[in-house]
Structure 1
Amino acid sequence: MAKYTEAKARANKKWDEKNKERKKYIIKRSTAKSFILNLASEDDLELIEKYIAQRRENLNDISSR
């Protein structure tokens, strides 16, 4: 993999500092996807499906207000 130039590294660092919440969201989403695709057992997947259903209900409740 090619190394970044100094300018690219500075630009990345500037973006990271300016977008801390977005970066945190992206990292957590990536971690969840990796867990589901690579490590989760059948029991884990069943629990995750329940969590997704709960989250959808919460989002529906919020959007219907």
Structure 2
Amino acid sequence: MALTEAQKRAKAKYQKKNREKQARYTLKSKAKSFIKNEANDKELKELIELIKERKLVLKKEEE
């Protein structure tokens, strides 16, 4: 489906205004895709450990 010129301008305006949100969305999408489609067992185990460590950091920050 082709975008109209107005839609293209609106999309560009949104992306400019929400750069951090867009960057975070892209990173999350890439991470999920890697986990679902590419990661082997060793990489999944490493990611699980990284997630555990990150959760501990976040928990400490909440205290």
Q: Shorter-chain-normalised TM-score: which range?
A: over 0.9
1:39 maps to which residue? 38
Alignment of 1:3-42 (within 5 A): 3-42=2-41
The reply on whether 1:49 has 2:60 as its aligned counterpart is: no
Structure 2 length-normalised TM: 0.97
Structure 1 unaligned blocks of 5 or more: none
Which runs of 4 or more aligned residues in structure 1 lie more than 4 Å from their structure 2 counterparts after TM superposition?
none
Report sequence identity in percent: 33
RMSD across aligned positions (CA): 0.5
Q: TM-score, length-normalised on structure 1?
A: 0.94
- In the alignment, the residues of structure 1 paired with residue 42 and residue 18 of structure 2 have an alpha-carbon distance, to the nearest angstrom, of 35
